[in-house]
Amino acid sequence: MDLLNTLVDKGLRREPPTRDEALAVLATSDDDLLEVVAAAGKVRRHWFGRRVKLNYLVNLKSGLCPEDCSYCSQRLGSRADILKYTWLKPEEASEAAAAGLAGGAKRVCLVASGRGPTDRDVDRVSETIRAIKEGNEGVEVCACLGLLSDGQAERLREAGADAYNHNLNTSEATYGDITTTHTYADRVDTVRKAHAAGLSACSGLIAGMGESDEDLVDVVFSLRELDPDSVPVNFLIPFEGTPLAKEWNLTPQRCLRILAMVRFVCPDAEVRIAGGREVHLRTMQPLALHLANSIFLGDYLTSEGQAGRADLEMIADAGFEVEGTDEVTLPEHRAGGGCHPDGDGRGSTDGDGRGSTDGDGRGSADGGVCGSAAAPAARSAGPRTDLVAVRRRGAGTDLAPNA
Protein backbone atom coordinates (compact mmCIF):
# COMPACT_ATOMS: atom_id res chain seq x y z
CA MET A 1 0.00 0.00 0.00
CA ASP A 2 1.62 3.26 -1.16
CA LEU A 3 0.21 5.18 1.81
CA LEU A 4 1.91 2.90 4.32
CA ASN A 5 5.24 2.96 2.50
CA THR A 6 5.12 6.76 2.54
CA LEU A 7 4.27 6.84 6.25
CA VAL A 8 7.10 4.47 7.15
CA ASP A 9 9.61 6.56 5.21
CA LYS A 10 8.39 9.71 6.92
CA GLY A 11 8.42 8.08 10.35
CA LEU A 12 12.03 6.99 9.99
CA ARG A 13 12.93 10.60 9.15
CA ARG A 14 10.75 12.10 11.93
CA GLU A 15 8.75 13.84 9.23
CA PRO A 16 5.06 14.33 10.03
CA PRO A 17 2.37 12.87 7.82
CA THR A 18 -0.16 15.19 6.33
CA ARG A 19 -3.57 15.46 7.97
CA ASP A 20 -5.08 13.58 5.03
CA GLU A 21 -2.58 10.76 5.49
CA ALA A 22 -3.36 10.53 9.20
CA LEU A 23 -7.08 10.43 8.44
CA ALA A 24 -6.46 7.75 5.83
CA VAL A 25 -4.89 5.50 8.50
CA LEU A 26 -8.06 5.73 10.59
CA ALA A 27 -10.15 5.00 7.47
CA THR A 28 -8.35 1.78 6.52
CA SER A 29 -10.42 -1.40 6.47
CA ASP A 30 -10.16 -4.36 8.81
CA ASP A 31 -8.81 -6.35 5.86
CA ASP A 32 -5.78 -4.01 5.80
CA LEU A 33 -5.30 -3.90 9.57
CA LEU A 34 -2.29 -6.22 9.79
CA GLU A 35 -0.53 -4.23 7.06
CA VAL A 36 -1.15 -1.03 9.06
CA VAL A 37 0.23 -2.62 12.23
CA ALA A 38 3.26 -3.98 10.41
CA ALA A 39 4.05 -0.59 8.88
CA ALA A 40 3.72 1.35 12.13
CA GLY A 41 5.67 -1.43 13.82
CA LYS A 42 8.67 -0.67 11.61
CA VAL A 43 8.67 2.91 12.90
CA ARG A 44 8.27 1.75 16.52
CA ARG A 45 11.18 -0.74 16.24
CA HIS A 46 13.39 1.82 14.50
CA TRP A 47 13.23 4.19 17.47
CA PHE A 48 12.56 1.82 20.39
CA GLY A 49 13.55 -1.69 19.33
CA ARG A 50 11.53 -4.36 21.13
CA ARG A 51 11.66 -2.74 24.55
CA VAL A 52 8.47 -2.15 26.56
CA LYS A 53 8.62 0.39 29.35
CA LEU A 54 6.52 -0.42 32.41
CA ASN A 55 4.88 2.36 34.40
CA TYR A 56 3.05 2.03 37.71
CA LEU A 57 0.24 4.23 38.99
CA VAL A 58 -0.23 5.34 42.59
CA ASN A 59 -3.51 7.17 43.17
CA LEU A 60 -2.55 9.59 45.95
CA LYS A 61 -6.06 11.00 46.39
CA SER A 62 -9.13 9.32 44.96
CA GLY A 63 -12.48 10.89 44.08
CA LEU A 64 -13.73 14.12 45.64
CA CYS A 65 -12.88 16.18 42.56
CA PRO A 66 -14.59 19.54 41.89
CA GLU A 67 -14.09 19.31 38.09
CA ASP A 68 -16.87 18.03 35.81
CA CYS A 69 -14.91 16.03 33.21
CA SER A 70 -17.57 13.77 31.69
CA TYR A 71 -15.26 10.79 31.18
CA CYS A 72 -13.98 10.61 34.75
CA SER A 73 -15.27 8.38 37.55
CA GLN A 74 -13.84 10.87 40.09
CA ARG A 75 -15.71 13.87 38.68
CA LEU A 76 -18.03 16.22 40.49
CA GLY A 77 -21.41 14.48 40.70
CA SER A 78 -20.08 11.04 39.78
CA ARG A 79 -22.23 8.19 41.04
CA ALA A 80 -19.59 5.58 40.22
CA ASP A 81 -18.93 3.34 43.21
CA ILE A 82 -15.19 4.03 43.37
CA LEU A 83 -12.79 4.26 46.29
CA LYS A 84 -12.76 7.71 47.89
CA TYR A 85 -9.95 8.82 50.17
CA THR A 86 -7.84 11.88 50.84
CA TRP A 87 -4.05 12.18 50.49
CA LEU A 88 -1.91 9.14 51.18
CA LYS A 89 0.98 9.77 53.54
CA PRO A 90 4.43 9.73 51.89
CA GLU A 91 5.30 6.39 53.48
CA GLU A 92 2.00 4.89 52.27
CA ALA A 93 2.60 6.12 48.74
CA SER A 94 6.18 4.86 48.81
CA GLU A 95 5.00 1.44 49.95
CA ALA A 96 2.44 1.33 47.15
CA ALA A 97 5.08 2.33 44.61
CA ALA A 98 7.41 -0.42 45.83
CA ALA A 99 4.96 -3.08 44.65
CA GLY A 100 5.06 -1.78 41.08
CA LEU A 101 8.83 -1.41 41.09
CA ALA A 102 9.20 -4.97 42.32
CA GLY A 103 7.06 -6.05 39.38
CA GLY A 104 9.42 -4.46 36.87
CA ALA A 105 8.17 -0.88 36.54
CA LYS A 106 10.83 1.78 36.02
CA ARG A 107 8.54 4.79 36.36
CA VAL A 108 6.10 5.60 39.16
CA CYS A 109 3.23 7.93 38.27
CA LEU A 110 1.84 9.86 41.24
CA VAL A 111 -1.71 10.99 40.51
CA ALA A 112 -4.16 13.05 42.55
CA SER A 113 -7.70 14.10 41.73
CA GLY A 114 -8.60 17.77 41.81
CA ARG A 115 -8.39 20.93 39.74
CA GLY A 116 -4.77 21.48 40.66
CA PRO A 117 -2.43 21.37 43.65
CA THR A 118 -2.15 23.97 46.37
CA ASP A 119 1.34 24.92 47.49
CA ARG A 120 0.81 22.67 50.50
CA ASP A 121 -0.10 19.82 48.14
CA VAL A 122 3.13 20.39 46.22
CA ASP A 123 5.05 20.16 49.51
CA ARG A 124 3.27 16.88 50.29
CA VAL A 125 3.97 15.39 46.87
CA SER A 126 7.56 16.62 46.98
CA GLU A 127 8.06 14.70 50.22
CA THR A 128 6.58 11.61 48.57
CA ILE A 129 8.87 11.96 45.56
CA ARG A 130 11.92 12.16 47.80
CA ALA A 131 10.79 9.11 49.80
CA ILE A 132 10.40 7.03 46.62
CA LYS A 133 13.69 8.20 45.14
CA GLU A 134 15.68 7.59 48.32
CA GLY A 135 14.62 3.97 48.48
CA ASN A 136 14.82 3.09 44.78
CA GLU A 137 17.91 3.94 42.80
CA GLY A 138 17.24 4.77 39.17
CA VAL A 139 13.46 5.07 39.50
CA GLU A 140 11.69 7.75 37.48
CA VAL A 141 8.83 9.69 39.05
CA CYS A 142 6.07 11.43 37.12
CA ALA A 143 3.50 13.68 38.82
CA CYS A 144 -0.06 14.20 37.58
CA LEU A 145 -1.77 16.72 39.84
CA GLY A 146 -3.94 18.81 37.53
CA LEU A 147 -3.48 22.42 36.48
CA LEU A 148 -0.23 23.99 37.67
CA SER A 149 0.25 27.50 39.02
CA ASP A 150 3.40 29.51 38.39
CA GLY A 151 6.45 28.05 40.09
CA GLN A 152 4.93 24.69 41.01
CA ALA A 153 6.55 22.74 38.18
CA GLU A 154 9.94 24.09 39.24
CA ARG A 155 9.34 22.98 42.82
CA LEU A 156 8.41 19.48 41.71
CA ARG A 157 11.53 19.35 39.58
CA GLU A 158 13.66 20.43 42.54
CA ALA A 159 12.10 17.66 44.63
CA GLY A 160 13.27 15.10 42.09
CA ALA A 161 10.32 14.69 39.74
CA ASP A 162 11.36 13.60 36.26
CA ALA A 163 8.12 14.22 34.39
CA TYR A 164 4.69 15.80 34.55
CA ASN A 165 1.54 14.42 32.95
CA HIS A 166 -1.41 16.49 31.82
CA ASN A 167 -3.46 15.20 28.91
CA LEU A 168 -5.20 17.29 26.25
CA ASN A 169 -7.75 14.46 25.99
CA THR A 170 -9.62 15.62 22.90
CA SER A 171 -9.61 18.29 20.21
CA GLU A 172 -9.88 21.96 21.07
CA ALA A 173 -13.10 22.22 19.05
CA THR A 174 -14.90 19.60 21.14
CA TYR A 175 -13.25 20.14 24.52
CA GLY A 176 -16.15 22.19 25.85
CA ASP A 177 -18.47 19.25 25.21
CA ILE A 178 -16.72 17.10 27.83
CA THR A 179 -15.62 19.66 30.44
CA THR A 180 -16.91 23.09 31.48
CA THR A 181 -14.94 23.80 34.68
CA HIS A 182 -11.67 24.48 32.87
CA THR A 183 -10.58 25.02 29.28
CA TYR A 184 -8.43 23.37 26.66
CA ALA A 185 -6.11 26.39 26.88
CA ASP A 186 -5.66 25.71 30.61
CA ARG A 187 -4.38 22.24 29.78
CA VAL A 188 -2.00 23.49 27.11
CA ASP A 189 -0.66 26.06 29.56
CA THR A 190 0.13 23.38 32.15
CA VAL A 191 1.99 21.20 29.63
CA ARG A 192 4.07 24.21 28.65
CA LYS A 193 4.79 25.06 32.29
CA ALA A 194 6.09 21.54 32.87
CA HIS A 195 8.23 21.66 29.75
CA ALA A 196 9.66 25.06 30.63
CA ALA A 197 10.60 23.82 34.13
CA GLY A 198 12.77 21.08 32.66
CA LEU A 199 10.33 18.27 33.35
CA SER A 200 9.74 15.64 30.69
CA ALA A 201 6.32 16.56 29.34
CA CYS A 202 3.73 13.80 29.09
CA SER A 203 0.42 14.53 27.37
CA GLY A 204 -2.03 12.36 25.52
CA LEU A 205 -5.65 11.70 24.68
CA ILE A 206 -8.76 9.69 25.43
CA ALA A 207 -10.38 7.89 22.50
CA GLY A 208 -13.93 6.59 22.45
CA MET A 209 -15.89 9.60 23.72
CA GLY A 210 -17.90 9.93 20.52
CA GLU A 211 -15.28 12.02 18.72
CA SER A 212 -14.80 12.01 14.95
CA ASP A 213 -11.71 10.93 13.05
CA GLU A 214 -11.02 14.63 12.48
CA ASP A 215 -11.09 15.25 16.25
CA LEU A 216 -8.58 12.48 16.84
CA VAL A 217 -6.23 13.81 14.20
CA ASP A 218 -6.63 17.35 15.56
CA VAL A 219 -5.62 16.40 19.09
CA VAL A 220 -2.68 14.26 17.98
CA PHE A 221 -1.35 17.03 15.74
CA SER A 222 -1.78 19.46 18.64
CA LEU A 223 0.22 17.08 20.82
CA ARG A 224 2.96 16.90 18.21
CA GLU A 225 3.17 20.68 18.24
CA LEU A 226 3.56 20.65 22.05
CA ASP A 227 6.28 18.02 21.61
CA PRO A 228 5.79 15.85 24.72
CA ASP A 229 8.27 13.06 25.29
CA SER A 230 5.42 10.71 26.22
CA VAL A 231 1.98 10.34 24.62
CA PRO A 232 -0.43 8.13 26.61
CA VAL A 233 -3.41 6.85 24.64
CA ASN A 234 -6.39 6.12 26.88
CA PHE A 235 -9.46 4.25 25.71
CA LEU A 236 -12.59 5.43 27.48
CA ILE A 237 -14.02 3.15 30.15
CA PRO A 238 -17.73 4.02 30.29
CA PHE A 239 -18.18 3.90 34.05
CA GLU A 240 -21.73 3.53 35.31
CA GLY A 241 -22.60 6.73 37.14
CA THR A 242 -20.81 9.04 34.69
CA PRO A 243 -22.28 10.99 31.73
CA LEU A 244 -20.45 8.81 29.20
CA ALA A 245 -21.61 5.50 30.65
CA LYS A 246 -23.34 4.52 27.40
CA GLU A 247 -20.49 5.50 25.05
CA TRP A 248 -19.21 2.13 23.82
CA ASN A 249 -17.74 3.24 20.51
CA LEU A 250 -14.51 1.24 20.23
CA THR A 251 -13.53 -2.08 18.72
CA PRO A 252 -10.10 -3.73 19.00
CA GLN A 253 -9.49 -2.89 15.35
CA ARG A 254 -10.38 0.78 15.88
CA CYS A 255 -8.01 0.96 18.85
CA LEU A 256 -5.14 -0.47 16.81
CA ARG A 257 -5.73 2.03 13.99
CA ILE A 258 -5.70 4.89 16.52
CA LEU A 259 -2.41 3.69 18.02
CA ALA A 260 -0.90 3.33 14.54
CA MET A 261 -1.95 6.87 13.63
CA VAL A 262 -0.39 8.22 16.84
CA ARG A 263 2.84 6.37 16.10
CA PHE A 264 3.04 7.80 12.58
CA VAL A 265 2.39 11.37 13.82
CA CYS A 266 4.72 11.05 16.85
CA PRO A 267 7.28 8.52 15.58
CA ASP A 268 10.04 9.09 18.14
CA ALA A 269 7.87 9.79 21.21
CA GLU A 270 7.12 7.25 23.91
CA VAL A 271 3.62 6.07 22.99
CA ARG A 272 1.90 4.45 25.96
CA ILE A 273 -1.16 2.23 25.94
CA ALA A 274 -2.95 3.57 28.99
CA GLY A 275 -6.40 3.08 30.54
CA GLY A 276 -8.87 0.80 28.81
CA ARG A 277 -6.58 -1.54 26.90
CA GLU A 278 -7.97 -4.63 28.62
CA VAL A 279 -11.57 -3.61 27.98
CA HIS A 280 -11.26 -2.55 24.34
CA LEU A 281 -8.21 -4.33 22.88
CA ARG A 282 -8.91 -7.51 24.81
CA THR A 283 -7.16 -10.49 23.16
CA MET A 284 -5.53 -8.15 20.61
CA GLN A 285 -3.39 -6.43 23.23
CA PRO A 286 -0.20 -8.17 22.02
CA LEU A 287 -0.62 -6.60 18.56
CA ALA A 288 -0.69 -3.17 20.21
CA LEU A 289 2.85 -3.74 21.50
CA HIS A 290 4.00 -3.47 17.90
CA LEU A 291 2.72 0.14 17.95
CA ALA A 292 3.31 1.40 21.48
CA ASN A 293 6.51 1.01 23.50
CA SER A 294 5.06 1.63 26.95
CA ILE A 295 2.21 0.34 29.13
CA PHE A 296 0.91 0.57 32.70
CA LEU A 297 1.53 -2.44 34.88
CA GLY A 298 -1.35 -3.74 36.98
CA ASP A 299 -4.25 -1.55 38.11
CA TYR A 300 -5.27 1.99 37.18
CA LEU A 301 -6.65 4.87 39.21
CA THR A 302 -10.13 3.64 40.03
CA SER A 303 -10.41 0.43 38.03
CA GLU A 304 -8.64 -2.90 37.99
CA GLY A 305 -6.35 -3.91 35.18
CA GLN A 306 -4.99 -7.17 33.91
CA ALA A 307 -2.95 -9.11 36.46
CA GLY A 308 0.64 -7.87 36.60
CA ARG A 309 2.00 -11.35 35.88
CA ALA A 310 -0.26 -11.60 32.82
CA ASP A 311 1.20 -8.30 31.56
CA LEU A 312 4.73 -9.69 31.83
CA GLU A 313 3.77 -12.96 30.17
CA MET A 314 2.08 -11.09 27.34
CA ILE A 315 5.21 -9.03 26.69
CA ALA A 316 7.45 -12.10 26.65
CA ASP A 317 5.09 -14.20 24.52
CA ALA A 318 4.82 -11.42 21.94
CA GLY A 319 8.61 -11.37 21.56
CA PHE A 320 9.26 -8.14 23.44
CA GLU A 321 11.38 -7.41 26.50
CA VAL A 322 10.84 -5.28 29.58
CA GLU A 323 12.98 -2.15 29.53
CA GLY A 324 15.54 -2.06 32.32
CA THR A 325 16.26 0.82 34.68
CA ASP A 326 19.73 1.13 33.12
CA GLU A 327 18.29 1.67 29.65
CA VAL A 328 17.31 5.03 28.19
CA THR A 329 13.76 5.05 26.85
CA LEU A 330 14.03 7.89 24.38
CA PRO A 331 16.18 8.15 21.26
CA GLU A 332 19.42 10.03 21.76
CA HIS A 333 18.23 13.30 20.27
CA ARG A 334 15.38 13.42 22.81
CA ALA A 335 17.16 11.95 25.81
CA GLY A 336 19.83 14.61 25.44
CA GLY A 337 17.36 17.39 26.15
CA GLY A 338 14.68 16.85 23.56
CA CYS A 339 14.05 18.58 20.27
CA HIS A 340 11.09 19.45 18.14
CA PRO A 341 10.21 16.54 15.86
CA ASP A 342 11.19 18.03 12.55
CA GLY A 343 14.28 17.44 10.49
CA ASP A 344 15.88 14.17 9.45
CA GLY A 345 17.96 13.16 12.49
CA ARG A 346 17.60 9.81 14.19
CA GLY A 347 18.71 8.12 17.35
CA SER A 348 21.72 5.83 17.24
CA THR A 349 20.73 2.20 16.73
CA ASP A 350 22.27 -1.24 16.79
CA GLY A 351 21.59 -3.94 14.27
CA ASP A 352 18.27 -4.73 15.94
CA GLY A 353 16.89 -1.28 15.15
CA ARG A 354 16.96 -0.50 18.86
CA GLY A 355 17.14 3.13 19.92
CA SER A 356 19.99 4.39 22.03
CA THR A 357 19.53 3.29 25.55
CA ASP A 358 15.90 5.91 28.83
CA GLY A 359 11.49 8.32 29.43
CA ASP A 360 4.75 8.45 31.92
CA GLY A 361 1.79 9.67 33.67
CA ARG A 362 -1.65 8.87 33.14
CA GLY A 363 -4.93 10.38 31.98
CA SER A 364 -8.24 10.30 33.73
CA ALA A 365 -9.68 7.39 31.75
CA ASP A 366 -9.45 4.09 33.60
CA GLY A 367 -8.76 0.56 32.51
CA GLY A 368 -10.69 -2.58 33.32
CA VAL A 369 -10.06 -6.15 34.33
CA CYS A 370 -9.48 -8.84 31.73
CA GLY A 371 -11.90 -11.77 31.92
CA SER A 372 -10.41 -15.23 32.42
CA ALA A 373 -12.95 -17.18 30.38
CA ALA A 374 -13.65 -16.89 26.69
CA ALA A 375 -16.80 -14.92 25.92
CA PRO A 376 -19.39 -16.29 23.48
CA ALA A 377 -18.85 -15.02 19.95
CA ALA A 378 -22.15 -13.13 19.81
CA ARG A 379 -21.37 -11.36 23.05
CA SER A 380 -17.88 -10.19 22.03
CA ALA A 381 -19.35 -7.98 19.31
CA GLY A 382 -21.14 -5.75 21.83
CA PRO A 383 -20.12 -3.66 24.85
CA ARG A 384 -18.11 -5.68 27.38
CA THR A 385 -19.43 -4.08 30.53
CA ASP A 386 -18.36 -7.22 32.39
CA LEU A 387 -14.72 -6.20 31.90
CA VAL A 388 -15.09 -3.00 33.94
CA ALA A 389 -14.17 -3.65 37.56
CA VAL A 390 -13.81 -0.93 40.19
CA ARG A 391 -10.45 -1.07 41.99
CA ARG A 392 -10.81 -2.47 45.50
CA ARG A 393 -7.15 -3.20 46.24
CA GLY A 394 -3.86 -1.38 46.51
CA ALA A 395 -3.55 2.31 47.42
CA GLY A 396 -6.26 3.44 49.83
CA THR A 397 -7.11 -0.11 50.93
CA ASP A 398 -5.68 -2.77 53.23
CA LEU A 399 -5.31 -5.26 50.37
CA ALA A 400 -2.16 -5.98 48.40
CA PRO A 401 -1.90 -4.14 45.07
CA ASN A 402 -1.94 -5.76 41.65
CA ALA A 403 1.58 -5.55 40.32
Q: What amino acid positions are annotated as catalytic residues?
A: 65, 69, 72, 109, 142, 202, 272
Residues 6+ apart with CB under 8 A from 79: 240, 241, 242
Residues 6+ apart with CB under 8 A from 64: 74, 84, 86, 113, 114
SS3 of residue 53 by DSSP: strand
Quote the strand ranges of 205-275, DSSP E.
205-207, 230-235, 270-273
Look at the chain and count its residues: 403
**Taken in order 225, 217, 116, 390, is the CA torsion positive or negative?**
negative
Quote the strand ranges of 258-381, DSSP E.
270-273, 294-296, 321-322
Residue closest to 306 by CA, chosen among 392, 372, 211:
372
Q: What angle do the packed helices 119-135 and 152-159 form, to 10 degrees? A: 20
Query: Greatest CA separation found in the chain?
Result: 55
d(CA 125, CA 153): 12
SS3 of residue 193 by DSSP: helix
At residue 249, what is the residue type? N
CA geometry: angle 304, 324, 50, nearest 5 deg:
85
Residues 6+ apart with CB under 8 A from 205: 167, 168, 169, 170, 216, 219, 220, 223, 231, 232, 233, 234, 262, 363
Neighbours of 123 (CB within 10 A): 13
Do residues 69 and 180 touch, judged by C-beta distance below 8 A? no
**C-alpha pair distances (Å), 202 with each of 31, 144, 193, 237:** 33, 9, 12, 21
